[in-house]
Each structure stands twice: as C-alpha cells, then as structure tokens.
C-alpha cells in the first residue's frame, strides 16, 4: 500500500521541518512509512492496550473483560491483576535483557581485547579501566593493562551469572538505598538470573501474586540499570574514551549531496567506532573520489548515533522516527545496522532507492539486507569491507531524486558524569551549592523514544522547555537527546532560554541548560550522578530534588529503564500510557504504593504542561524535605487545568 495522507498533514506527525519535507516526499513517491502503518492498525486491540490479554500458554489465549460483564478470569484462573503484572514483568525482562545483552557483547569484545584477540580496538581510557577494576576488587598496582582488563572481564562476566549476593556496581548505590533493596528482597543478584527468573515466574502457575511479581520486576529492572547497562557504558568508555564536551550537528541536513553518506543505526558502539576509523582510511577515501564523490560522510541515527556523537562529535541524522525518512532523502549509500529499534520496514524503503541495508549482528538479520557478520577479532577489516560496499553503491545514486532538507542545527554532546564533575571542578559541590541556593531548583532526566502516536518530538521539546525556563537542569539521553538537539536546546547559547538562575550557572560554565549524557544504556550514568549527589549530601536518592520523564516512550527497554529509575528512588513521568490500566490494583501500586516501598512512583501525564507542573511541584516538595528554600505549590500555577498532578495516574485511567 502506498503512502497517503490518511493520517493528516505532515506537520501533525512531526514538529521538524526536515521530517515534514521527507514525509511529503514519501507520499509523492508512494512510499509507506510508520505513520501509514499505524493508521492501518486502527483500531488497535483494547484488551492488549489495557494489559488484559494473555497468551502465556496453550489453554489460552485469554482476555479479561474490563467492563466486568465478560470473563474475569483466564482459563487457568488468572485474574486481571495477575495478567497485567505478568505482562509488565515480561516487558521489563525483555528491555533489561536487550540492554544487558548489548553489555555482554561489549564485555566479550573487551575480553578479546584484553587477550590481544581484537583488532581495531585499544584501551582508550586506562585511568578509568584501573579505577573501575579497583572498585570491583581487582588488584591494579604493578600490573599491566592486559592483566587488569582480563581480571575485570572475569569479575563482570560473573555478574551475568547466578552469583548470590549482589552485582558489582550495586555497591555504587547509597548505603541506605542498598539497605532498602535488601529489606525488600530486590537487590539484583545476577543479570541473566533476574531476567530468567522473571520468565519463570510468569509461566502459568508460578507467581500468582501481583505484588510479588512486580517486586521482582523492579529487581529485573535494577539488574539492567546497575548491571547490564552500566557495564555497557563503563566498558564503552574504557574502550572508546570517556566522553568530554564536543560540538556536533543534527538533523537530515547533515547528509552531503556530493559525498558517500553512510548512516550508522542501532546501539552498539563496537561496530560504529570501527566504521568511523575505516571511513578515514586514505585508500577508501581515494576509492570514493574515484567514483565521483568528494569524500565519505558518516552520520548517526538513534543510540549508535549518540555513542558516536558523544565520543567523536559525529553528526546525527535523527532519532527513532527519522530512520525511514533518512532513506527517503535518496542520498544514503548505506544504512549499517546492529540491533534494537531498527524497523524491519527499512529494507522495504531502501528498495525504492540505491541504498544498501547492511546488517552486522548474527542476532539481528533482516530478510533482504546484505549481511556482513561483525566479529571484534576482525573489527578493522570488516569495517573496511562495509565502507567499501557503501562507496561502490555511490555510482548508483539517482541525483535527480535526492532531496536533503534544510541546514543542520548545532548541538553539544559529551556530558559523561566525569565531564560534568570535571566542569564543576571535580566535585558535585558547585551543583549542590547552586541547588541549595535555589538558582537551580533541581534536575530532571528526560529520556526515551519517539512514538508515532504522538507528534515527533513535541512532548520532549515542550516539557524540556518548561523545565529549563523554571531553572531545572535537564539531562537527556537516547532519542530525547536528539529531539532537544534538533530544537536548538543543546548549545551554550541556549542558556538564554533558561530561567535566570540556571542561565547564570550555564553561562559561567559555558554549557547548555540541557546536557547530553549519551545513549539509552547511558541512563546508568544518571544513576551514578544521583548516587554521587545523594552520598555528598548524606541522603538517599529519593530525597533529592530530581525526577525522570519518558515523554514519548515506545520500547520495552524504556519500561526497564523506568523500573530501575523508580526503584532507585526517582519518580518518573511517562507521556504514553503503559498497558497496565486493566488492573486498578497494579495501577495503584505503581502510582501510589511504591512511594512507601522505594520512595518514588510512576506518573502518567501526556500533557507536557501538566507534566512540567507536576515535576516542578515534586521538586519543590523534595527541596522542602531537605530544608532548602521552596516555592509553595500554589505559586507554581499555570493557566491550564491542573488536576492531573493530584491523582497522577488517574488522569489517564479515564482517558
């Protein structure tokens, strides 16, 4: 079916002009995109949207009638609470597994490197290697880098198994938080173990108590945030460099009309780093010239793009909903993918052009794509082969069909926690002082995806703008970071958009009011920062004037992130309704009950103005708890209907 305008004008689907132009081009050329397929899926299943369908066994599939007239139990006897909790638990396990398996791939490559079996890689940050190794009990003094790296590999590999006790990096959490996790029985033990146990518990006839299931779901999330994701982040820093502030550019304007354009899409920096190096190879650059191109232009998409931007300043083409649109420019020789968030549809769209889709992970093959299996042992050679395929596609480009919309926007990246603390002079003190003085009210992590059910980036941008205007520092990762980059929020000059207190701090430090912390696994960096701030103040994380937000989330990984962020004590606002509203008990636990358990809750609020207001009030209440100056809630009023914040999830229940 060809692309149509059945889902409204392009400007109702995305706030960005580059994307709007490409959606119109897709329609002109009869190419189907994600928005067309969403329209084709209407109406989507109401049972599934409420979390009330189950197909965990062959006595089913079953569904619970949300209106109370039809069946209230599945064939096995599971009620709405059990079914909703099991579904949520499995979603979190899938997300946690995704991040953690990415972490495992990095760890295995790191092990190869330690043993001298990986080509094209090196230890880029020896200081961080030795620091992490010492932290987890590896002897570092008078030992070679290889010896330390080998021992560190062994320790972290154990974290994936069934180690009893707790994961290595859990020790980074404040002692009071760890004590709370221990008391609840949710300290993550083994990364794989928690995920497998979640699958076990949700088999028919195992964990039939929704509270018990959800507690394990939190533990499964914690195994991601303080386990798999944290390993991915830390070892990526060791191998590719710990990010430091760097300028780059973003939007579809980063493509070049006269160069071989290669988009790197997915999540794992193992491949993309090697490709960046290969693209500078003089022989390959010469080959590009010989086919009529002026050079080789590497651009990023999604989290692979974030990894490359953070460490190398590689330009960013766009976020999740841009992945088809970048192909529609007609200017891409190759899209090289590894895994996660890569729509199968890219193969169909690429067929309309000369673009090669090159898959690289044996875990993630795409029928119709060119598969070049990536092995770290031969990283450099394989990267060269991939770049060569792209260069050789250049003569097939139909220049008459190329349209590169607009000019790129400047954005700054590279705010690892080390870089943030470095900018502050090595300790959290200046940030804490600014928060204590009230010039910065607090900090919010705005993270997560795009979702075609919402206009692309609207919620990210609106929420972030309202937060920085009110002197709240915003940290961004994943597609939320790209959204803010495109909106111009991530250059030092954007300090002018912030309230007076935040503006003064940003101008003094030369930083934007919205800091790019990295990819989605790098949400683990935010946990490290929260732990450092809590430790500095001698409090638990849930006492800090902070919050999380995932305004446009779509992915199972985002649910896992939400689980560990909340379990770590940070209240998190979701802009898209999760499939839990079929069980008022589960909703009650997530929206209220968790407060007394982990000191934080989930809130669902699709309206960014109301979400911002909720967050501001939340931050002020945390300030009050710390004895800091605080605004009274009524002084924070805005002219919209403000009811949503008082019954956080209730607003969406009635939707």
Binding site for ligand SF4 (CB under 6 A): 54-57, 59-62, 74-76, 78, 83, 204
Minimum distance from CB of 483 to ligand BF8 (Å)?
Answer: 10
Beta-strand relationship, 546-550 and 442-446: parallel
Residues of this chain, 258-287, that bind ligand BF8 according to CB under 6 A: 267
Element at 85 (helix H, strand E) = helix 80-114
Distance separating alpha carbons of residues 455 and 17, to the nearest angstrom? 12
Which is nearer to ligand BF8, 245 or 478 (by Cβ)?
Answer: 478
- Which of 535, 543, 532, 568 has the alpha carbon at shortest distance from 623? 543
Per DSSP, 173 falls in state: S
Which is nearer to ligand BF8, 129 or 336 (by Cβ)?
Answer: 336
| Residue 568 binds which entry of ligand BF8, ligand SF4, none, CB below 5-8 Å type-dependent | none
Stretch that binds ligand BF8, among 378-386, 552-560, 565-573, 638-646 (CB under 6 A): 552-560
Single residue of 555, 568, 583, 601 touching ligand BF8 by CB under 6 A: 555
Minimum distance from CB of 336 to ligand SF4 (Å)?
Answer: 40
| Residue 48 binds which entry of ligand BF8, ligand SF4, none, CB below 5-8 Å type-dependent | none
What track of x and - describes contact with ligand BF8 for positions 490 through 519 (by CB under 6 A)? -----------------------------x
Minimum distance from CB of 73 to ligand SF4 (Å)?
Answer: 8
Distance separating alpha carbons of residues 80 and 47, to the nearest angstrom? 11
| Residue 204 binds which entry of ligand BF8, ligand SF4, none, CB below 5-8 Å type-dependent | ligand SF4
Which is nearer to ligand BF8, 337 or 511 (by Cβ)?
Answer: 337
Which is nearer to ligand SF4, 204 or 626 (by Cβ)?
Answer: 204
Single residue of 63, 130, 180, 320 touching ligand BF8 by CB under 6 A: 320
Minimum distance from CB of 519 to ligand BF8 (Å)?
Answer: 6
Minimum distance from CB of 475 to ligand BF8 (Å)?
Answer: 14
Distance separating alpha carbons of residues 597 and 588, to the nearest angstrom? 13
Q: How many helical (H) and strand (E) elements, i.e. helices and strands, does the chain have?
A: 27, 16
Distance separating alpha carbons of residues 127 and 116, to the nearest angstrom? 19
Minimum distance from CB of 338 to ligand BF8 (Å)?
Answer: 11
| Residue 557 binds which entry of ligand BF8, ligand SF4, none, CB below 5-8 Å type-dependent | ligand BF8
| Residue 520 binds which entry of ligand SF4, ligand BF8, none, CB below 5-8 Å type-dependent | ligand BF8
Residue 652, phi-psi category: left (phi > 0), alpha (psi -120 to 50), beta (remainder): alpha
Stretch that binds ligand BF8, among 32-40, 208-216, 460-468, 551-559 (CB under 6 A): 551-559
Cα of first residue to Cα of last residue in the chain, in angstroms, is: 32
Single residue of 54, 109, 218, 558 touching ligand BF8 by CB under 6 A: 558
Distance separating alpha carbons of residues 354 and 376, to the nearest angstrom? 28
Residue 565, phi-psi category: left (phi > 0), alpha (psi -120 to 50), beta (remainder): alpha
Q: Does 228 engage in binding with ligand BF8 (CB under 6 A)? A: no
Other CB atoms closer than 10 Å to residue 638's CB: what's the count?
12
Distance separating alpha carbons of residues 475 and 524, to the nearest angstrom? 12
3-class SS at 87? helix
Single residue of 50, 302, 393, 490 touching ligand BF8 by CB under 6 A: 302
- Do residues 276 and 312 lie in contact, with contact meaning Cβ atoms separated by under 8 Å? yes
Q: Does 431 engage in binding with ligand BF8 (CB under 6 A)? A: no
Which is nearer to ligand SF4, 90 or 397 (by Cβ)?
Answer: 90
Write phi, then psi, for 412 (nearest 5 degrees).
-105, 140
- Do residues 598 and 215 lie in contact, with contact meaning Cβ atoms separated by under 8 Å? no
Residue 277's Cβ-count burial label (10 Å; 0-12, 13-18, 19+) is: middle
Which is nearer to ligand SF4, 59 or 638 (by Cβ)?
Answer: 59
- Which of 292, 305, 287 has the alpha carbon at shortest distance from 259? 292
Q: Does 520 engage in binding with ligand BF8 (CB under 6 A)? A: yes
Element at 413 (helix H, strand E) = strand 409-413
Which is nearer to ligand SF4, 54 or 481 (by Cβ)?
Answer: 54
Distance separating alpha carbons of residues 383 and 334, to the nearest angstrom? 13
| Residue 76 binds which entry of ligand SF4, ligand BF8, none, CB below 5-8 Å type-dependent | ligand SF4
Residue in the block written with tokens 């992490």: 132
Single residue of 232, 431, 479, 586 touching ligand BF8 by CB under 6 A: 479
- Which residues fall within 8 angstroms of residue 426, CB to CB, at 6 or more apart? none
Minimum distance from CB of 86 to ligand BF8 (Å)?
Answer: 22
| Residue 56 binds which entry of ligand SF4, ligand BF8, none, CB below 5-8 Å type-dependent | ligand SF4
Other CB atoms closer than 10 Å to residue 348's CB: what's the count?
15
| Residue 302 binds which entry of ligand SF4, ligand BF8, none, CB below 5-8 Å type-dependent | ligand BF8
Minimum distance from CB of 203 to ligand BF8 (Å)?
Answer: 27
Which is nearer to ligand BF8, 173 or 558 (by Cβ)?
Answer: 558
Write phi, then psi, for 327 (nearest 5 degrees).
-70, -35
| Residue 61 binds which entry of ligand BF8, ligand SF4, none, CB below 5-8 Å type-dependent | ligand SF4
Minimum distance from CB of 480 to ligand BF8 (Å)?
Answer: 7
Q: Does 560 engage in binding with ligand BF8 (CB under 6 A)? A: no
Residues of this chain, 333-392, that bind ligand BF8 according to CB under 6 A: 341
Distance separating alpha carbons of residues 224 and 524, to the nearest angstrom? 9
Q: Does 478 engage in binding with ligand BF8 (CB under 6 A)? A: yes
- Which of 85, 89, 63 has the alpha carbon at shortest distance from 74? 63
Element at 594 (helix H, strand E) = helix 594-598
Burial letters 609-625, b for 16+ CB under 10 A, else e: bbbbbbbbbbbbebbee
Which is nearer to ligand BF8, 455 or 501 (by Cβ)?
Answer: 455
Per DSSP, 591 falls in state: I
| Residue 59 binds which entry of ligand BF8, ligand SF4, none, CB below 5-8 Å type-dependent | ligand SF4
Minimum distance from CB of 53 to ligand BF8 (Å)?
Answer: 23
Which is nearer to ligand SF4, 75 or 364 (by Cβ)?
Answer: 75
Q: Does 92 engage in binding with ligand BF8 (CB under 6 A)? A: no
- Which of 568, 635, 571, 648 has the alpha carbon at shortest distance from 607? 648
Minimum distance from CB of 87 to ligand SF4 (Å)?
Answer: 10
Q: Does 448 engage in binding with ligand BF8 (CB under 6 A)? A: yes
Strand residues in 243-394 grouped as ranges (E): 246-250, 260-265, 296-301, 316-318, 334-337, 356-359, 370-371
Which is nearer to ligand BF8, 264 or 424 (by Cβ)?
Answer: 264
Which is nearer to ligand SF4, 83 or 342 (by Cβ)?
Answer: 83
What residues line the site for ligand BF8 (CB under 6 A)?
267, 302-303, 319-320, 341, 448-449, 478-479, 519-520, 555, 557-558
């Amino acid at each position: 079916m060809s692309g149509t305008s059945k889902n409204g004008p392009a400007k109702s689907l995305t706030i960005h002009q580059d994307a709007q132009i490409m959606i119109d081009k897709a329609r002109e050329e009869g190419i189907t995109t994600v928005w067309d397929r969403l329209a084709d899926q209407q109406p989507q299943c109401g049972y599934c949207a409420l979390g009330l369908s189950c197909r965990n066994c062959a006595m089913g599939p079953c569904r619970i009638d949300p209106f109370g007239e039809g069946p209230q139990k599945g064939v096995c006897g599971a009620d709405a609470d059990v079914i909703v909790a099991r579904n949520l638990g499995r979603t979190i396990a899938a997300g946690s597994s995704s991040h953690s398996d990415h972490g495992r791939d990095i760890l295995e490559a790191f092990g190869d490197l330690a043993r001298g079996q990986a080509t094209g890689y090196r230890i880029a940050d020896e200081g961080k290697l030795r620091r992490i190794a010492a932290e987890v009990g590896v002897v570092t003094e008078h030992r070679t880098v290889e010896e330390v790296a080998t021992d560190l590999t062994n320790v972290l590999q154990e974290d994936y198994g069934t180690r009893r006790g707790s994961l290595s990096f859990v020790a980074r959490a404040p002692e009071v938080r760890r004590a709370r996790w221990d008391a609840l029985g949710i300290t993550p033990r083994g990364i794989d173990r928690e995920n497998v146990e979640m699958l076990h518990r949700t088999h028919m006839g195992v964990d039939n108590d929704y509270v018990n299931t959800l507690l394990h779901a939190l533990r499964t999330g914690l195994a991601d945030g303080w386990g798999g994701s944290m390993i991915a982040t830390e070892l990526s820093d060791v191998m590719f460099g710990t990010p430091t502030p760097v300028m780059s550019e973003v939007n579809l304007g980063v493509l070049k009309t006269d160069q071989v354009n290669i988009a790197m899409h997915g999540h794992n920096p193992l491949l993309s780093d090697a490709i960046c190096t290969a693209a500078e190879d003089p022989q390959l650059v010469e080959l590009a010239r010989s086919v009529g191109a002026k050079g080789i232009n590497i651009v990023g998409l999604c989290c692979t793009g974030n990894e490359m931007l953070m460490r190398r300043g590689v330009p960013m083409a766009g976020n999740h909903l841009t992945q088809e649109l970048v192909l529609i420019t007609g200017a891409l020789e190759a899209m090289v993918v590894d895994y996660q968030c890569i729509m199968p549809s890219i193969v169909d769209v690429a067929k309309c052009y000369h673009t090669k889709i090159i898959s690289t992970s044996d875990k993630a093959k795409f029928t119709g794509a060119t598969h070049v299996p990536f092995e770290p042992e031969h990283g450099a050679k394989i990267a060269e082969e991939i770049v060569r395929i792209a260069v050789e596609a250049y003569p097939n480009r139909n220049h008459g069909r190329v349209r590169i919309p607009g000019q790129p926007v400047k954005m700054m990246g590279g705010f690892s926690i080390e870089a943030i603390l470095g900018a502050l002079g090595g300790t959290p003190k200046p940030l804490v002082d600014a928060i204590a003085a009230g010039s910065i009210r607090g900090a919010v992590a705005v993270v997560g995806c795009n979702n075609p059910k919402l206009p692309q980036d609207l919620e990210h941008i609106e929420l972030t703008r309202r937060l920085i205007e009110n002197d709240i520092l915003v940290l961004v990762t994943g597609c939320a970071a790209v959204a803010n980059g495109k909106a111009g929020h991530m250059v030092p000059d954007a300090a002018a958009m912030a309230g007076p207190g935040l503006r003064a701090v940003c101008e003094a430090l030369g930083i934007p009011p919205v800091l790019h912390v990295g990819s989605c696994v790098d949400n683990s960096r935010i946990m490290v920062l929260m732990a450092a701030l809590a430790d500095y103040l001698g409090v638990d994380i849930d006492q800090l004037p902070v919050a999380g937000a995932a305004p446009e989330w779509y992915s199972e990984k985002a649910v896992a992130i939400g689980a560990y962020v909340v379990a770590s004590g940070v209240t998190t606002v979701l802009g898209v309704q999760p499939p839990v509203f079929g069980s008022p008990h589960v909703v009650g636990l997530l929206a209220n009950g968790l407060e007394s358990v982990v000191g934080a809750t989930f809130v669902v609020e699709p309206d960014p103005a109301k979400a911002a207001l909720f967050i501001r009030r939340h931050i002020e209440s945390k300030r009050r708890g710390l004895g800091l100056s605080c605004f009274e809630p009524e002084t924070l009023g805005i002219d919209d209907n403000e009811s949503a914040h008082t019954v956080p999830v209730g607003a969406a229940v009635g939707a």
